[in-house]
Amino acid sequence: MVLIKVDYKEKDADRLKLKNGFLCREVAGQWVVVPLGERVVEFNGIMTLSESGALLWRNMDSEVDEEDLVKLVLSEYIIDEDTAREDVREFVVSLKENGLIE
Amino acid sequence: MALTLDKLYSQLVSVAKKKRKLLSASFELTTRCNLRCKMCYVCENVNDSNCKAKELTSEQWIGLAEEARDLGLLFLTLTGGEVFIRNDFKEIYEKLMRMGFILTIYTNGTLITPEIANWLASMPPFKVSITLYGASRKTYQEVTGSAEGYDKTVKAIDTLLEKNIPTEIKTTVVRGNKSEYDRLLEFAQQRKLELGIVNYVSPRREGDNTNPIGNRLSPQELVEYEVHINERNIELGLLMRKDNSSMGSQLVSLERKDTIIQSSEPSDAFHCLAGKSAAWVTSDGRLLPCGLLDMVKAYPLDQGFALAWEELKRGCELISPCKECQECLLQSFCEHCPARLLKETGQYDRKSPYLCELARRRKEAVNWSIP
């Protein structure tokens, strides 16, 4: 069983879309992502997401880019743009490192 | 820093317990089984048509699972009876695996063919938990009524491991297999597995095919078994401590080790998560706090899972703790709970002679081992 906490790191401006076969759920006050069906072969575990991570995740079912995500964060949180951009970049890198982006 | 799985689980349990949110459950898909274990608390014949007729259909299980997921259920165990005797097990399992649960399968392993192992490998559960009832064909014949069950179980374990399917093994200690701990441990170690021990055999929940009380160890026999395990583990360096003072918790490997959480409320009869964040659905659709406690129940198929869960929680809150147990100085050597007291004595709040004697014997064993 693998447990991954999705964190953040560097810049990437590609178009982004999550792989299908994962479900983001709120369980006992914690956002988690679990693999569905056959997807468990490549990832048999649980990912945890922060509140803002879950917001981003739930908006990545269709293709977006980092700027879309930055705008989303700015619309939902009181945060300066540089920090929002840095957080989104780190989040996206973490998703890529864990093979969650198509 | 990433959370460990244990920490995440503890965090989820802590919140779910406090908020009384459903987090874990067992679906008892059937009480029918292809083995005839003398100590089983539910075992019915494979071809028992009455029993089969009462079992929920695959559609009903899937419907309940969807409702339970919407309540927050994450950790789901599929158990029996023997789950693989259901012709629709594959259908149920695959649908549940697409719902976002962390799934565990409890099985005796005898029906896991290479084909089934291949199928499981294509969509592996979090864990397959296999009970190994002995270390020889002779013992399997004695305990389960099937000598060939041993060969099939061993083959199943090895096939699952070969296919990298997360697998754990455990045994239930009874008179017929009490002398085989060392061989079972050797079997586990050869495969780099831990060996879980189910040390408590409950009186039957229902039916009359088996005789758990007649086949379980006496308190003295059980303590001797536990002492032997402790000594063996110390020899092997698996335990650091040189006394048996933690025997109760060290040796008990029931459903999930960390579900035993001490209650801070003296009015709370339950020390576990049953009826707080955990529940059990019987093969005929009753929602219970756990697999043993069938006096508190609700009916999710009739009233919906959400209302049934609320009713179950209220029912559990009405259960008074056993005062004598609460005041007993041997509590740390005892594993009493409302379900066990009910099955042992017919009441939630009456002390059980079997459990009391077991606690006394454990205390004596500790006194012997600490100069």
Mean pLDDT of B100-127: 97
* B30 CB neighbour count, 10 Å cutoff: 26
Q: Is residue B341 part of a domain?
A: no
Check whether B263 has a pLDDT greater than 90. no
Q: Do A36 and B16 touch (CB under 8 A)?
A: no
For chain A, the first-to-last Cα distance in angstroms comes to: 23
Domain assignment of residue B102, given as a range:
16-320
CATH number reported for the structural domain that contains residue B30 in this entry: 3.20.20.70
Q: Do A25 and B23 touch (CB under 8 A)?
A: no
pLDDT at residue B242, as a whole number: 41
Mean pLDDT of A20-44: 93
Q: Is residue B269 part of a domain?
A: yes
Check whether B15 has a pLDDT greater than 70. yes
Check whether A54 has a pLDDT greater than 70. yes
pLDDT band for position B43 (cuts 50, 70, 90): confident
The Cα B324–Cα B151 span in angstroms is 46
Q: Do A30 and B2 touch (CB under 8 A)?
A: no
pLDDT at residue B237, as a whole number: 81
Enumerate the residues of chain A whose CB falls inside 8 A of the CB of residue B2.
3-5, 7
Q: Is residue B47 part of a domain?
A: yes
Q: Helices B137-144 and B148-162: crossing angle, nearest 10°? A: 110
The Cα B207–Cα B202 span in angstroms is 13
Q: Do B19 and A46 touch (CB under 8 A)?
A: no
Q: Is residue B349 part of a domain?
A: no
Q: How many CB pairs under 8 A join A and B?
A: 73
pLDDT at residue B257, as a whole number: 37
The Cα B368–Cα B346 span in angstroms is 34
Q: Does A3 touch chain B (CB under 8 A)?
A: yes
Give this complex's ipTM. Answer: 0.84
Q: Is residue B52 part of a domain?
A: yes
Enumerate the residues of chain A whose CB falls inside 8 A of the CB of residue B273.
none
Nearest to B112 by CA among B125, B99, B98, B100: B125
Q: Is residue B288 part of a domain?
A: yes
Domain count, chain B: 1
Instruction: Note the pLDDT tens digit of each residue in B208-244.
Output: 789 999 999 999 999 999 999 999 988 888 654 444 4
Q: Does A82 touch chain B (CB under 8 A)?
A: no
Provide DSSP, A20-34. Answer: SSEEEEEETTEEEEE
pLDDT at residue A4, as a whole number: 61
